[in-house]
Structure 1
């Protein structure tokens, strides 16, 4: 067995967490449930873009020009490990608080608008983005083979501020720029950036459209994504209903929204058992997004999300269960017709600022100084952040995949495929399955046994095992992706093969 996992470290968890993991699903370890899997008879459903996989970072990450840089070889390697092609989205809450520092003598703006709010950057937040940061970003994108969604400022945005930045970004990134995002989580502007009495879809369009048109005039060929709402996806069909009647409108190429599975971190409802259960909200949001996208004739994308908002939860967002959640969530969005997904992550400092100054999950730790990823849900972590060390207070240059990152890597095999209908009956086992046809005509089937205790024994077409996503326990950090696996038992059957997938294990099959 060849293991693709990177060097890992174990987290010390509370005894209560370990006991909770055992009790996640009080089903007999010896339960035998007849399960079946076969390709459906319907037509292929949707085609998954080759660059479906994406990561989301705070715009504040650009404050350090050496982060997204062609010299940051370790981070480049981890981007490529997740997917050889993908989309880096730069935005987040901090995208409303940056300013374009065109020259060394440029003066920072003075800002008074806004109010402090728990979970949002305080109005005093301000950071600069320089030409060097954008040039380094371009080199980073070249090295990874990825493209970029670039967030501009709407919260404090003006034509004087946004146009020079947009011009430089477009000229520097060229074809590596997918589109501009103008405004982040605009449905929440009434909490800290706009008057709650007047803010809504109509006021948003009154502000957004003139600014986007001005940028488009100054940057010929500029494209935009919108509205990038936090949770109120009803904004999308409301915008679509007005779109055709607008006399002059910007070139919008993508509709977007965010999705965090749960929160806040301290909530008792935020636990591994619930994380691995189906979430009806995913399909409901997809239906609204698809309705709006169809009216406007554009694709739709999930541009920021992860397990638990406000930086994630220790013992949930940073453990193997999150890998299974991440893979399953990405497969589900593929099947629902999304053009891509960006799971959020980054450095501890930018993430903490984005949610008001601190990661709420650290309050749940016995010792917040113990090694842990910052934020807890980041797909790629920096070892300096994990160890709370670094050189002269700076991050070191060693990065590694976290569990969610492994889930993304596992799902990335479906990039560029065509989703196929699948008949799957897991019985009483908590499991999901997805099928897709590759460009070479071969069919992949991903089976995710998310059950804490039960193995999944199923009758399936003859297949070979391509990859296995596994971990020692749902509440431990240890996560692996392997080529083939001795842990997967197979035997011949009259209708194909009988395959036994252990509890909390995902398998990628290629049908013969």
Structure 2
């Protein structure tokens, strides 16, 4: 009777050949008519006081002479090759809060937000892991149709890490996202002991195919002794030996055909430095087995406040100024310059595998402020200047202040939408700054007499000056700290005008009124992942006789100056591929996607995919393959059945 009731909808898919994915108002929410009570940290209302204007203040007007040819610039970074510089790191225990409940119930705002990054950069990388990957275990089934569950791991770690149980549907969830968007994935091999549980590698490669880029081998191993995962004498040489044992085990495993996609050492630069790991011979010994080399680092931590560690609690107001200072991001990146150069010499990417404003969830009033947007822009450019390939902004769930975006809490109405974090705008800005050419190189200009409050960068594409990035950290409502930057070019070929996009807000402490080129996503519980407002690109007339363009930058503010009038990023606004709701069934909305987008689902060609069975594990026999069903019908039917269960549950 149930199947008969949904037969018309199934037949509709047969006729129009579409795949339906449910999720705009996700089923991991619960219906409620009440006004939202924003108690989790992700919706915290703390507003800090902006730091005072520096004394003495930076010069409000300064000259910025530039060289047009990249070959004339010293200290230029290597080209950024790949997609969006900022990717995402999602703590394994909160995947269902970010991506969706399961492979058939994906978060539509998440898809739209990633689509906007893809539009600008070509692709996005996402890591599923973190501390909770270390105790993760694959299970056949979790009650209630869930893909994830948590149990006590017995960990003594600061963040009280749970053990994550997951089903094969986690891989299909990632695969379905990659079938719609150009998303590539990183997964992590559990490292709580050396009885290697390699199912995540086996099924990751089988189901994700070439959409799986790498497998992390150890998450912050320098803290293993501290957190009781290894004995107190555990040292870099011990970690080196374990990687060798892991490689040997993988080489003997026929279910892992690609033996060359490990990621490490991912030290946090706590008890160990990367150099201590390199001293073991790690790079030369294992580079053939590595996708990339990696580190993880945060500028501070809020563990005392969020996890009651007994250490002194940090007052966010007292450190707000630390995030509004170029010297701070330089100090974050400088310890990794040598490691990045070693990775480059070995022919491998170098990735900041997990970072954000502060570990243990970030700080109230800082991590979700416009000041954090400016800080992450500066930090991202500085990492690129230091030859990092990617940096992954971490998600910590409902109780984190720093999430790039967050779904509504489970106890709130299904009609509430999502909330955008300040650092998502930073990812968007860098995606536009680097573009899609795979030739972008960046240099820190040490602008305005190297003032820490007014950093600037030049971006070169295809060997020529392409863009200029200008930051003003000073928050001053009087207008006295607004900048006027006189940009000149050595060849004297200044255009008649340049286009400028601004990331704006009233103050470094504000949260809800951040806009990029006049467009915004909405306030708390108002984000569907699509831009609101009209694109507003400013035109600044230049003095060609004096060979200068005078660029205003508000206080506070960020300006991206396009030196090439034909740059396609000037007109970039809402992504062409959006995931809008097309139907509503009480608490469930749907989106439709052309099935041709799914032609390479699971990272395989159609002829290979036919032997894998359905993209939803268990819905058809693996021996029957997909040829017995019309493309997408299985995903549709599982989504419809899931919708039915949710509807009944909300009656």
Q: Distance in 2 between matches of 1:245 and 1:306?
A: 26
Counterpart of 1:256 in 2: which secondary structure?
A: strand
Aligned partner (choices 129, 134, 144) of residue 166 of structure 2: 129
Residue pairs, 1:38-57, within 5 angstroms: 38-39=66-67, 41-42=72-73, 45-51=77-83, 52-57=85-90
Q: Distance in 2 between matches of 1:444 and 1:432?
A: 14
Aligned partner (choices 471, 475, 494) of residue 509 of structure 2: 475
Aligned partner (choices 451, 459, 466) of residue 486 of structure 2: 459
Shift of 1:126: 2.3
In the alignment, structure 1 residue 510 sits paired with structure 2 residue 562: yes
Counterpart of 1:262 in 2: which secondary structure?
A: coil
Contact 2:61 2:486 in 1 (8 A): no
Contact 1:155 1:193 in 2 (8 A): no
Counterpart of 2:298 in 1: which secondary structure?
A: strand
Closer/same/farther in 2, CA of residues 287 and 429 from structure 1, 3 Å limit: closer
Contact 1:312 1:375 in 2 (8 A): yes
In the alignment, structure 1 residue 412 sits paired with structure 2 residue 412: no
Counterpart of 1:293 in 2: which secondary structure?
A: helix
Aligned partner (choices 43, 50, 58) of residue 91 of structure 2: 58
Contact 1:212 1:250 in 2 (8 A): no
Aligned partner (choices 300, 303, 314) of residue 267 of structure 1: 314
Q: Distance in 1 between matches of 2:154 and 2:102?
A: 29
Contact 2:186 2:214 in 1 (8 A): yes
In the alignment, structure 1 residue 444 sits paired with structure 2 residue 467: yes
- 1:452-511 C-alpha deviation (Å, 9 max, x unpaired): 232111211345224211111111102110167688876637131222211111111111
- 1:247-290 C-alpha deviation (Å, 9 max, x unpaired): 78871121111121223364247622111112243233222422
Counterpart of 2:188 in 1: which secondary structure?
A: strand
Q: Distance in 2 between matches of 1:247 and 1:38?
A: 42
In the alignment, structure 1 residue 145 sits paired with structure 2 residue 182: yes
Aligned partner (choices 178, 191, 201) of residue 154 of structure 1: 191
Match of residue 432 from structure 1: 455
In the alignment, structure 1 residue 311 sits paired with structure 2 residue 361: yes
Q: Distance in 2 between matches of 1:126 and 1:24?
A: 47
Deviates more, 1:60-69 or 1:138-147: 60-69
Match of residue 378 from structure 1: 403
Q: Distance in 1 between matches of 2:283 and 2:406?
A: 46
Match of residue 245 from structure 2: 210
Q: Distance in 2 between matches of 1:346 and 1:76?
A: 19
In the alignment, structure 1 residue 298 sits paired with structure 2 residue 323: no
Q: Distance in 2 between matches of 1:486 and 1:466?
A: 6
Point out the structure with max Rg over C-alpha.
2
TM-score by length of 1: 0.80
TM-score by length of 2: 0.64
Alignment RMSD (CA, Å): 3.4
Closer/same/farther in 2, CA of residues 445 and 471 from structure 1, 3 Å limit: same
Closer/same/farther in 2, CA of residues 23 and 176 from structure 1, 3 Å limit: same
- 1:364-388 C-alpha deviation (Å, 9 max, x unpaired): xxxxxxxxxx411111122x13xx7
Shift of 1:419: 1.4
Residue pairs, 1:26-41, within 5 angstroms: 32-39=60-67, 41=72
Q: Distance in 2 between matches of 1:345 and 1:480?
A: 22
Shift of 1:213: 2.9
Residue segments in structure 1 that go unaligned for 5+ positions in a row: 1-8, 349-373
Closer/same/farther in 2, CA of residues 254 and 233 from structure 1, 3 Å limit: farther
Shift of 1:241: 3.3
Shift of 1:418: 2.4
Q: Distance in 2 between matches of 1:341 and 1:195?
A: 28
Closer/same/farther in 2, CA of residues 295 and 210 from structure 1, 3 Å limit: farther
Shift of 1:234: 5.2
Q: Distance in 1 between matches of 2:284 and 2:464?
A: 44
Match of residue 73 from structure 1: 108
Aligned partner (choices 176, 191, 197) of residue 232 of structure 2: 197
Closer/same/farther in 2, CA of residues 26 and 42 from structure 1, 3 Å limit: closer
- 1:325-379 C-alpha deviation (Å, 9 max, x unpaired): 111111111111111110101522xxxxxxxxxxxxxxxxxxxxxxxxx411111
Task: Name the count of aligned residue pairs.
Answer: 461
Contact 1:48 1:418 in 2 (8 A): yes
Contact 1:209 1:249 in 2 (8 A): no
Match of residue 552 from structure 2: 500
Shift of 1:437: 2.5
Q: Distance in 2 between matches of 1:442 and 1:291?
A: 24
Contact 2:500 2:540 in 1 (8 A): no
Aligned partner (choices 73, 94, 102) of residue 132 of structure 2: 94
Q: Distance in 1 between matches of 2:464 and 2:63?
A: 26
Shift of 1:439: 4.7
Q: Distance in 1 between matches of 2:217 and 2:515?
A: 38
Shift of 1:231: 2.4
